[in-house]
Homo-oligomer: A and B are copies of this chain.
Amino acid sequence: MSEAKTLTEAFMQTKYQVAGHGKRNFEVLQEVFQGLDGQLDSDIYGSGKVIEDFQVKMAKYLGKEAAVFFPSGTMAQQIGLRIWCDQKGIKKVAYHPLCHLEIHEQDGLKELHQIESVLLADKDSLITLEDVVSMQEEVACILLELPQREIGGQLPSYETLEEISVYCRNKGIKLHLDGARLLEILPYYQKTAVEVCSLFDSVYVSFYKGIGAIAGAILAGDQTFTEESKIWKRRHGGDLISLYPYIVSADYYFDRRSENMHGYYEEAKELAELFNACPAVSTLPLVPVSNMFHVHFHAQKEQMEPILIEIFEATGIGLTSYLKEVIGESCGYEVSIGDQYAALPKEKLQEVFRLLKEKMKQQI
């Protein structure tokens, strides 16, 4: 007697996956280190060629005076905000209601740093200049996340960013960029990282989203800011004796993938169009502005799972390993395009959407 397969199981058995760079397995590390000279020295507590060179490279890429490698973005961003709060003597920062610090970090900012958050904009909307200008409370810093991940990876216009930046500078409010997916938005804005970062006082970037490395983050800003961040990194327990497994991997995949972002973005738009051509399916945003978007099925999770399993088995192509209930009779998942999309057999992908269209018609 065989039990029904779960969506995750069916996904795991597919030959091709539509999103991402591939499995997060040991090969990701092995590929990086197998060709390297074993005699190269480890970093030691934040010093050494391997960490210093990468920090200089990233500072230059982001157009900031200095950069510090952190094991995680959670640590890097809390520390960035703490420094701005201490400098201003105000223990308050403003950000989006679905900011990573608000919903994914077990309230570290509040529990470890006693920093209060002021929530800007409705949770389903982007932060506007109006939201910033009409803010009643005095804050040390505003954090903008580009793209706004939890609402499908939406972006404000570049003009809005510039206006918010000018406003904050005039008001003495520090502006911090949650650029976990900074590289992924450059093709849409048609700007360099330096240009985007010039609007911000401090910037965090991640290496395991579009870059697809193992873990790790960079926090960049002026020299005083980054030097202070190193002290906090020690306090947080992030100043490991050796971070090179992450640094070397971040550097390797940065070099390999940073130029691919335009392709991922174009592919995301292509894929979103395929979804939007199906009945009772839509993407958020309708037209992606980066390599990411959310897929919404206007059907219940219990209805959608067997449909997707059937499609995965018929085509050998996996769309997603999970479905999340959205609200009421809807469910969805997040797509981030990576290396795997280009490797999909196109006729199989067409077959996926032919089947999806057919099955969704029956749902209406």
Contact = CB atoms under 8 A, between A and B. Distances in A.
B30 A236 contact: no
Interface stretch (A122-130, A240-248, A303-311, A329-337): A240-248
Given A105-B234, A236-B237, A33 B29 contact: yes
A45 to B, nearest CB: 10
Interface in A59-115: 70-76, 78, 105-108, 111-113
A70 B75 CA distance: 14
Contacts of A238: 71-72, 75, 236-238
A346 interface: no
Given A33-B33, A214-B242, A240-B215, A235 B111 contact: yes
A71 B107 contact: no
B240 A71 contact: yes
A44 interface: yes
Interface residues of A, number: 52
Contacts of A244: 26, 29, 214
How many monomers of this chain does the complex have?
A: 2
Interface in A236-272: 236-246, 248
B237 A71 contact: yes
A250 to B, nearest CB: 12
Contacts of A167: none
Contacts of A105: 234-235, 237
Interface string A8-35: 0000000000000001111111100110
A343 interface: no
Nearest to A208: B241
Nearest to A50: B26
Interface in A195-253: 208, 214-215, 231-232, 234-246, 248
A327 interface: no
Contacts of A24: 41-42, 44, 241-242
Contacts of A236: 74-75, 108, 112, 236-238
A82 to B, nearest CB: 9
A11 to B, nearest CB: 14
Nearest to A214: B242
